[in-house]
């Protein structure tokens, strides 16, 4: 990447609401003049988008079942929601998302986890998600494709602040200038995009969600009816023997623990099992505080955050964050296994592959486990932690009072069906074959999505 050098007047720093002397921020506002696409006529986003006040839902049991979304449920650059969960209980306050035309996250919006809600469907979501109404002078689809274009998202990254949880302040977002294009011209562009959208939808219809693939294989192998799993989620009234209140880790009286844990135990009961502690080669270790040492950057080392990991536990490649220098003990080794320990992503898992990244450290909200993969197939274990069986265990053990949390000792008690390695490999092979097919389909979809970027850029140029 070529070195960029520029000069800015010091007084510019004091003309904005926030004291931001960092290079990307100053370059965007002082050199680019807040324009993503330089044009003769432009308009600030504050005249296109209007942030709506958020209404909250308090943590705890809900009066009615709600659809819960987080940033990870918003498909990047595809205006689509995935793996939306229906819940009757939440572990932290959420925002009601219903009145806005578009939802944009404060945290890492440059990833493109943005979606239109033109029908004003009701969801509850992370407080990182903000709702905006869209001016009637703008075609919502044109605006969506403009602000999720590669160029726009790349410039949006320059406005980030924060060390671990990188955010773009909504005030800065609304200062961005976009090309002033007539509504009729926007409609024309959208009409040109529609055939590509149709092709993308056709390709998407051929995709099976990874969670569905994994659950189907595990359900068949362990003789469980997935329809029962869905019915279980909806049950609100059931009976518990008083003696069972203290049979699992600690005295627990919360509903989900006593609803989900017995089902998990029933599935496991028909098989030999091993606990995570039995294949653990060393003490679990909590991640690094990024401000460790002197704060100097190690350009060759990646800092792995929760948001860097997708559902399957793969690293997202295009938002590389350089780590600060830390103690060597925090460096990941091949096949190190990470579990998220708290927050809405508790239970999220990741298997480190040193062939993809020579050097990496892990954030403090992870717990690292060094496991003996001679006793268990590592992909079998990874897929297990993405399955409905693990979901039952996680939901049962996870505390919802205060911050959702599973500690290292509780993870060590996780039971894993100890089936023959040959049977484990069969499960892995079947799942991996299907997932590979899905990845090929996604590449075709991404090619079509890039064509939309080309149309946007050609019109603006």
* 60-64, 287-291, 434-438: range with highest mean pLDDT: 434-438
Q: What is the pLDDT of residues 391-413, one digit of tens each?
A: 888 887 876 555 678 899 999 99
Q: Binning pLDDT at 50, 70 and 90, where does residue 298 land?
A: low
pLDDT (0 to 100) of residue 1: 44
Average pLDDT over residues 24-47: 90
Q: What is the pLDDT of residues 40-57, one digit of tens each?
A: 899 999 999 999 999 999
Give percent of the chain with pLDDT exceeding 90: 47
Q: Quote the CA–CA distance of 369 and 387 in Å, as a whole number.
A: 19
- Greater confidence, 240 or 285? 285
Give percent of the chain with pLDDT exceeding 70: 82
Which residues lie across from 398 on neighbouring strands? none
Average pLDDT over residues 281-290: 83
Q: Binning pLDDT at 50, 70 and 90, where does residue 326 land?
A: low
- Sorted by sequence, the CB contacts under 8 Å of residue 268 that are 6+ apart come out as 389, 415, 417
∠ CA 34-37-39, rounded to 5°: 95
pLDDT higher than threshold 60 for residue 245? no
Both tokens of residue 301? 């080392």
Query: Can you list the domains of the chain with their CATH numbers?
Result: 45-181 (3.90.220.20), 223-270+272-418 (3.90.220.20)
Residue pair 54/95 in contact by the 8 Å Cβ criterion: yes
Mean pLDDT rounded to a whole number for the chain: 84
pTM of the shown model: 0.74
Average pLDDT over residues 217-233: 81
pLDDT (0 to 100) of residue 302: 77
Torsion sign over Cα 412, 414, 420, 422: negative
Residue pair 178/42 in contact by the 8 Å Cβ criterion: yes
Average pLDDT over residues 291-308: 64
Q: Of 100-109, 119-128, 220-229, 291-300, where does mean pLDDT reach its minimum?
A: 291-300
Q: What is the pLDDT of residues 49-90, one digit of tens each?
A: 999 999 999 988 888 899 999 888 898 899 989 878 888 888
Residue pair 123/74 in contact by the 8 Å Cβ criterion: no
């Amino acid at each position: 990447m070529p070195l960029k050098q520029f000069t800015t007047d010091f007084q510019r720093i004091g003309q904005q609401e926030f004291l931001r002397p960092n290079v990307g921020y100053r370059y965007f506002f002082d050199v680019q003049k807040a324009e993503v696409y330089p044009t003769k006529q432009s308009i600030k986003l504050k005249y296109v988008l209007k942030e709506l006040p958020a209404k909250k839902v308090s943590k705890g049991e809900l009066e009615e079942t709600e659809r819960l979304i987080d940033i990870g449920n918003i498909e990047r650059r595809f205006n689509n929601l995935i793996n939306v969960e229906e819940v009757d209980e939440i572990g932290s306050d959420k925002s009601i998302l219903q009145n806005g035309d578009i939802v944009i996250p404060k945290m890492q919006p440059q990833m493109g986890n943005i979606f239109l809600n033109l029908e004003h469907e009701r969801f509850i979501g992370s407080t990182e998600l903000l709702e905006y109404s869209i001016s009637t002078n703008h075609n919502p689809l044109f605006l969506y494709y403009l602000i999720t274009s590669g160029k726009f998202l790349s410039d949006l990254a320059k406005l980030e602040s924060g060390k671990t949880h990188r955010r773009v302040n909504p005030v800065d977002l609304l200062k961005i200038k976009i090309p002033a294009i007539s509504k009729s011209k926007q409609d024309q562009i959208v009409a040109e995009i529609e055939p590509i959208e149709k092709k993308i939808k056709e390709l998407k219809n051929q995709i099976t969600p990874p969670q569905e693939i994994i659950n189907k294989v595990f359900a068949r192998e362990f003789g469980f009816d997935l329809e029962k799993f869905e019915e279980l989620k909806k049950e609100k009234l059931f009976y518990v023997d008083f003696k069972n209140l203290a049979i699992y880790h600690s005295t627990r009286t919360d509903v989900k623990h006593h609803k989900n844990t017995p089902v998990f135990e029933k599935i496991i009961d028909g098989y030999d099992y091993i606990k995570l502690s039995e294949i653990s080669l060393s003490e679990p270790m909590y991640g690094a505080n990024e401000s460790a040492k002197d704060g100097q950057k190690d350009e060759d080392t990646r800092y792995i955050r929760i948001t860097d990991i997708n559902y399957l536990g793969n690293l997202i490649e295009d938002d590389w964050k350089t780590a600060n220098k830390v103690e060597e003990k925090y460096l990941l080794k091949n096949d190190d296994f990470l579990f998220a320990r708290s927050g809405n992503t508790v239970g999220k898992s990741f298997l480190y592959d040193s062939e993809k990244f020579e050097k990496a450290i892990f954030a403090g909200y992870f717990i690292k486990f060094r496991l003996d993969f001679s006793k268990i197939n590592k992909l079998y274990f990874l897929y297990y932690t993405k399955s409905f069986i693990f979901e039952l265990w996680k939901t049962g053990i996870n505390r919802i009072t205060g911050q959702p949390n599973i500690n290292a000792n509780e993870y060590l008690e996780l039971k894993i069906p100890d089936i023959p390695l040959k049977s484990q490999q069969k499960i892995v092979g079947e799942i991996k074959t299907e997932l590979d097919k899905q990845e090929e389909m996604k590449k075709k979809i991404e090619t079509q999505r890039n064509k939309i970027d080309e149309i946007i850029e050609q019109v603006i140029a």
